[in-house]
Amino acid sequence: MYDKSISLFQRAQQSIPGGVNSPVRAFKSVGGTPIFIEKAKGAYLYDADGNRFIDYIASWGPMILGHAYEPVVKAIQEKAVLSTSYGAPTQLEIEMAELIKSMAPNVDLIRMVSSGTEACMSALRLARGYTGRNKFIKFEGCYHGHADAFLVKAGSGLATFDIQTVPGITGGVSNDTLTCAYNDLEAVRSLVSTHKNEIAAIIIEPVAGNMGCILPQPGFLEGLRQICNEEGIVFIFDEVMTGFRLAAGGAQEVLKIDADLITYGKVIGAGMPVGAFGGKRAIMEKIAPLGNVYQAGTLSGNPIAMIAGYTLLHELKNNPSIYQELNDKTAYLHDGLNKVLAASGTAFVINRQGSMISIHFSEQPVTDFASAAAANNSLFNKYFHAMLKRGIYLPPSAYESWFLNNALSYADLDATIQATAESLAEIL
């Protein structure tokens, strides 16, 4: 069934560390051989062996309207004949920035970069430059890319490989990274008190997606906002996953919380390698060439990524019903999964926010990394393979949120629910 994927994986390991270019793709958490994808269209992935899968990864979030969305493909084709990179300013960059500003709250100025990792790294540097402080607070299980400062108690990939400390991260970097459990406001207050006038930023996934989908408890984000106001701390929302997915204005709009800086990733390139960070004018004006906090990149504002992202975001802005359709589909899936899981007799928790959802085989609520890690994740691994066998492609880790795309039909959702019922009957 996966003969070509097996062969390709064996070949890849001769040239690529572990045979993959991003660790979670290796299937080490769930076991087995990774599936090598040949193409995708709409809600479906097609592997090298010709198997079709209903996709719940959506390239880790950005394919909100499905794969190979025709207006995006056409826009890329038209722009590519004009060259793929200039290393110089373009009018399109201005139009992209204006479009993002028109959709996202609290974005007065925005700088394009080449990835979500780079966006978060640059936002943290900016917060440090703006405040003159070095330390920052992040939350256990939240993943903000692989920059050194963020790999202290990070989520998803590190959790998948059970990596608690990362060689190559210096003690000085680790000492400046303060961590708290997600949803633990009192722990944040304690850290801020202990490190008075030393903390530059608090960075958070407003809805976490790197320990499964984890929702902020009522009052948590509001409390963080108040602390930042009182202590002169820059509040950074990592919206690489939630930006333009939960709503046109992202998590800020849905949760009604104002951030000082916001980071975005591949969604603003419709899946192309791109990112951005933006926020309040007084802070963003510290970035070079206006200020002395340096950040640069030859591919920042790349024209192919910009036209792809502009086309997607323009569609989302002008058709707000897309978000209701996505939310309705996710709620329908949630209800169906809830019924079949309840009927199976196994302990489970389903977390959902908008079009992000995850299943945890747990007897307790899953509200942070510790409770996500305490779930029966070996059962999830069996569930993953049982679903894959039935043509459903889930994230290959219990520590990842699922992402729905609007190309999914209700028939696809019914097939997913039915596959879950069959899978549970097989593995329990």
- The residues that bridge with 39 in the sheet, in sequence order, are 46
Q: Among residues 97, 105, 110, which one has the least CA distance to residue 259?
A: 105
Whole-number Å distance between alpha carbons of 101 and 105:
7
Assess contact for 273 and 266: CB atoms under 8 A. Answer: yes
Select which of 79, 266, 329, 382 is catalytic: 266
Catalytic residue among 176, 238, 260, 368: 238
> Which of 284, 279, 286 lies closest to 259, judged by CA?
279
Nearest 5°: the CA angle 90, 92, 98 is: 120
For 45, residues 6+ apart whose C-beta sits below 8 A from its C-beta are 35, 37, 39, 52, 53, 55, 67, 393
44, 56, 130, 143: the catalytic one is 143
Tokens linked to 140: 């256990």
Nearest to 73 by CA among 50, 96, 42: 42
- Distant-in-sequence, close-in-space partners of 373: CB < 8 Å, separation ≥ 6: 159, 211
Q: Report the distance separating Cα 92 and Cα 384, nearest Å.
A: 41
**CA-wise closest residue to 140 among 131, 124, 152:** 152
- Concerning whether 143 is annotated as a catalytic residue, the answer is yes
Q: Is 280 a catalytic residue?
A: no
Cβ neighbours around 299 below 10 Å, total: 18
Active site residue 266: yes
Enzyme catalytic residues: 143, 238, 266
